Amino acid sequence: MNDREVSREVIEACRAGDRDAFRALYEIHKDRVYSIAFYFFNGNSEIAADVTQQVFLKLMTSIGQFRGDADFSTWLYRMVVNTCVDSARKYKPASEGSLETLAAHDDHEGAYARTQAANSVRAALSTLPPKFRIAVLLRYFDDLSYEQMAEALHCSMGTVASRLSRGHKLLAERLKSMVEGKGRS
Amino acid sequence: MRHIASQLAAHIDGRLAPALSQQAAEHLRTCERCQAEYGAVKQGMEWMDSLPLIEAPASLWTSIESGLPHHQATRRIPWAWLATAAAAMFAFAAYWLLAPAKVPTWEVARIEDSTQRTSRIAPGQWIETSARSRATIKVGAIGSLDLKPNTRLEVVATQPGEHRVALAHGEIHASISAPPRLFFVDTPSGTAIDLGCEYDLKAADDGSGLLQVSKGWVQFEWNGLESLVPAGASCQIRAHAGPGIPYFDDAPEGLRLALDQGALGAILASSRVRDTLSLWHLLSRVDVDARSRVFDRIVALTPLPGGVSREKVLKLDPATLKRWREDLAWIW
């Protein structure tokens, strides 16, 4: 049984106010929601935790409005998008995140190189305009269809495709210039 | 030559419709500019693969749990409290059996001459703004509704599964963040159904009106007639005749005029690729001869996707029309 099937089973119980079911739902989605917020705010774990908390509190207080025939992931990620965008207004521009946070999650062989690469990507990602950044993160952290992403981002599927194309292209360009900059120094 | 930069991510992800994917592949074989863009987009995607999933802090659940409403946070009851709880539950059950069912109400903020007053509104109640006042209604937990001056509106339903108002006349701005089909606005000439969106809706005393969508999609229905209006598009509401043909707000003036006048030749001649939004809606509103001309014009503007045939479109086969709309929505 995959995560989504589990979600379908527990959503009904959540709607009935079952606390354990909500905990199960949280466990299924927490890391993806947290990761999106974490990278959206350039590795700031404090803001990522605040965004994740806001998302799940909104989710629990409004899950009574969620109908079983609608798509739960779309609904969840729309909250994630809205909360990230709202929080971006509230917080100052993303600061440099802590490198230790990433290193702590990867202690296998070759960890250093991977951590360095991830930090570079995270830093480059944080320079993208928010609408490209959130689209790229949505594509990466869950297997959403373009239609689901369009609903979560309040735009058409064509716009999703366009933002993903431009976002990934910009990311590659920023990383290329970072690598070239290091090479010269 | 039309470049495909904006479609490259969808092409790499295999999310383009077959006909568009084939066109993209053919274009990439000969266009050096798009080949370079393709390389950059693919490189960006590969870089993203180096990002690990980050585990949420274990302490986060405790913070969330403390923020939950108490009635959701106390499912497990210590045995010592059972007798007291049973008595309380009996009293509570008796109250719910004897008392009338509680209907949710919505918060209303009325603003007149820079003075704001807050109250609640229940189903069956009306709210009316004057030339000098406006109001904002909090639609349960799913969004808000701004009433412009000179607007009259009734709250019809406030249940979690159905949020419904009736707009008698005036202008509203709706901003809804909820699963589709939870928020409805009835007007004298049909119903606006939220599909996850933000929009403005005007209704005149004679039943005519205008729907303008700024985010997401809105469906407008009247007696089986329906229009699907995406962000950046509008749809005239005809007095007691339902939704007109939707059009993009940046559509050529000639097209908008032709749609008003029902001048098919001018509609077809002035349509751009994006205006297939209007042409697709026109298919089911004209006779079979005109439908054939509309079909030809759409196909001249953008290739027919797999699974959509002329014969089935002309017969208005619902599944075929839906399949075609989903494909066309890429360019809307």
- Please tell me the distance from the alpha carbon of residue B108 to that of residue B121, in angstroms, as a whole number: 7
**B54, A38: Cβ pair inside 8 Å?**
yes
Shortest distance, CA A125 to any CA of chain B (angstroms): 9
**B50, A67: Cβ pair inside 8 Å?**
no
At residue B5, does pLDDT exceed 50? yes
Question: Can you give the pLDDT at residue B76?
Answer: 41
A64 occurs within a structural domain: yes
Residue A62 contacts B where some CB pair is shorter than 8 Å: yes
* Amino acid symbol at A17: G
Give whole-number Cα distances, A142 to A146, B43, B48, B152, B232, in Å: 11, 19, 13, 44, 28
Element (H, E) at A106: none
Question: Can you give the pLDDT at residue A15?
Answer: 80
**B10, A102: Cβ pair inside 8 Å?**
no
The proportion of chain B whose per-residue pLDDT surpasses 90, expressed as a percent, equals 55
At residue A123, does pLDDT exceed 80? yes
Q: Using 50, 70 and 90 to split pLDDT, how confident is the model at A23?
A: confident
**What's the domain range around A139?**
3-92+110-184
At residue A55, does pLDDT exceed 60? yes
Question: Can you give the pLDDT at residue B126?
Answer: 92
Residues 17-56 (A) with a CB less than 8 A from some CB of B: 17-20, 22-23, 26, 30-35, 38-39, 45, 48-49, 52-53, 56
A15 occurs within a structural domain: yes
A167 occurs within a structural domain: yes
B253 φ, ψ (degrees, to nearest 5) = -55, -40
Name the residue facing A26 among B47, B61, B142 (closest C-beta).
B61
- Please tell me the distance from the alpha carbon of residue B61 to that of residue B12, in angstroms, as a whole number: 38
Residues 104-163 (A) with a CB less than 8 A from some CB of B: 105-106, 114, 117-118, 121-122, 124-125, 136, 139-141, 145-146, 151, 154-158, 160-162
- Please tell me the distance from the alpha carbon of residue A58 to that of residue A28, in angstroms, as a whole number: 17
**B330, A161: Cβ pair inside 8 Å?**
yes
Comparing A141-145, B17-21, B94-98, which segment has the lowest mean pLDDT? B94-98
The proportion of chain B whose per-residue pLDDT surpasses 70, expressed as a percent, equals 89
At residue B146, does pLDDT exceed 60? yes
- Top-confidence residue, B278 or B162: B278
Q: Using 50, 70 and 90 to split pLDDT, how confident is the model at A105?
A: very low
User: pLDDT tens-digit profile of B169-221?
Assistant: 999 999 987 777 889 999 989 999 988 679 999 999 888 999 999 988 899 99
Shortest distance, CA A103 to any CA of chain B (angstroms): 10
Quick one: three-class SS letters along chain B?
A: CCCCHHHHHHHHCCCCCHHHHHHHHHHHHHCHHHHHHHHHHHHHHHHHCCCCCCCCCCCHHHHHHHHCCHHHHCCCCCHHHHHHHHHHHHHHHHHHHHCCCCCCCEEEEEEECCEEEEEEECCCCEEECCCCEEEEEEECCCEEEEECCCCEEEEEEEECCEEEEEEEEEEEEEEECCCCCCEEEEECCEEEEEEEEEEEEEECCCCCEEEEEEEEEEEEEECCEEEEEECCEEEEEECCCEECCCEECCCCHHHHHHHHHCCHHHHHHHCCHHHHHHHHHHHCCCCHHHHHHHHHHHHHHCCCCCCCCHHHHHCCCHHHHHHHHHHHHHHC
Where in chain B do CATH 2.60.120.1440 domains reside? 104-244
Q: Determine contact, residues B326/A145, Cβ cutoff 8 Å.
A: no
Name residues whose C-beta falls within 8 Å of residue B202's C-beta, 6 or more positions apart in sequence. Answer: B170, B171, B209, B210
* Residue A155, domain CATH: 1.10.1740.10
Residues 199-238 (B) with a CB less than 8 A from some CB of A: 215-216, 230-231
A102 occurs within a structural domain: no
Most confident of A2-16, B90-104, B114-128: B114-128
Nearest to A41 by CA among A73, A78, A85: A85
User: pLDDT tens-digit profile of B271-314?
Assistant: 999 999 999 999 999 999 999 999 999 999 998 888 899 999 99
Name the residue facing A157 among B41, B60, B330 (closest C-beta).
B330
Fold classification of B104-244 is: Jelly Rolls (2.60.120)
Number of CB pairs < 8 Å for A and B? Answer: 192
The number of distinct structural domains making up chain A is 1
At residue B82, does pLDDT exceed 60? no
| DSSP strand pairing (B190-203 vs B225-230) | unpaired
